[in-house]
Structure 1
């Protein structure tokens, strides 16, 4: 009994540490997700559309047209949905080749940046954990997160991607809270 209690506590601690790392990194999140999942991920675009200029998008965010993109990242082999992502693209502040790649919906934004060799930096502005029913998009509207079997609060991170002096993309990413548990179960099944 003590061993199983210790193992559960160790597993919970490991999961907490890895999710915390995911929330604070300002590097390529997709790379970290692939490492944690131990497989490549593919993007499935749920919706992508041009939106009207919003009066809330002033100052450094002004200069539409604006595009909203909602997608999920899914493990290629397992089909496990690891993240639900909402991006607001400020098209005037994104390199043209990258914008074209995003518009074709074939890759995740991070993969597109990497494959094109575009220089960027990220600034994390918010992160934490929310209950599923508290999940909202970038306009504070409720969002239906595409995760199954949710039993825990959902980790999220909101950040800006810069390709110059002004942000080009604002991202809000929700991560499946059972990502680490899923990976551990996959490893146990192999043995």
Structure 2
């Protein structure tokens, strides 16, 4: 049996490991978030606009069951470097990008350009403007995990999409609160 103090330490360690996997993964982030949350992920587009030859989009992802905000994202899409059908779905349907890639079986490669942790007052968009996120950490001193990466299509070096994702540090707690069996598995160790 694990006592409360040991459980607190173990949970922090488990959180760290899960976020380390999320921040270092070159796979579809949406798939990982759905696995971590145990729920389908949906998107809410805050703003999407075309400037010159780029599409800028600010959105957040949330769980379909609990409406728990999983991440706050900033994207730049380069229309000339993505498949036409994909581009149309992003413009018209506002689906989660990872779900479009999966449904259309699109092959893409990812290049992580930056990852880590930042304080809430350090979260910025692509223009370097400090942004408040849709979710709030429990403390203003609590760090927020983030990942910045490029997606490439057509086996080229041209970036099709640049993504900057800030992840809610409470994702694992959300899962444990909504799936108590997850915590029981830890206690059986």
Q: Is the CA contact 2:114–2:149 (under 8 Å) kept in the aligned structure 1?
A: yes
Q: Does residue 1:78 correspond to 2:66, yes or no?
A: yes
Residue among 95, 99, 112 paired with 1:111: 99
Stretches of 4+ aligned residues off by more than 2 angstroms: 148-151, 187-191
Q: Does residue 1:158 correspond to 2:148, yes or no?
A: yes
State how far apart, in whole Å, the 2-side matches of 1:85 and 1:161 are.
14
Q: Alpha-carbon deviations, 1:45-102, whole Å to 9, x = none?
A: 11100013xxxxxxxxxxxx10001111110001100011111001110110100010
Q: Output aligned runs, 1:133-152, within 5 Å.
A: 133-151=121-139, 152=142
Q: Is the CA contact 2:86–2:100 (under 8 Å) kept in the aligned structure 1?
A: yes
State how far apart, in whole Å, the 2-side matches of 1:124 and 1:149 are.
24
Q: Does residue 1:186 correspond to 2:178, yes or no?
A: yes
Residue among 66, 73, 76 paired with 1:88: 76
- Give the Å deviation of 1:149: 4.3
Q: Does residue 1:172 correspond to 2:164, yes or no?
A: yes
State how far apart, in whole Å, the 2-side matches of 1:107 and 1:125 are.
24
State how far apart, in whole Å, the 2-side matches of 1:147 and 1:189 are.
26
- Give the Å deviation of 1:18: 0.2
State how far apart, in whole Å, the 2-side matches of 1:143 and 1:92 are.
28
Q: Is the CA contact 1:45–1:105 (under 8 Å) kept in the aligned structure 2?
A: no
Q: Counterpart in 2 of 1:51? A: 51
Q: Counterpart in 1 of 2:36? A: 36
State how far apart, in whole Å, the 2-side matches of 1:150 and 1:162 are.
36
The normalised TM-score by structure 2 is 0.90
Q: Secondary structure in 1 aligned to 2:3?
A: helix
**Unaligned residue ranges in structure 1 (runs of 5+):** 53-64
State how far apart, in whole Å, the 2-side matches of 1:47 and 1:31 are.
24
Kindly report the root-mean-square deviation, in angstroms, between the aligned alpha carbons of the 2 structures. 1.6
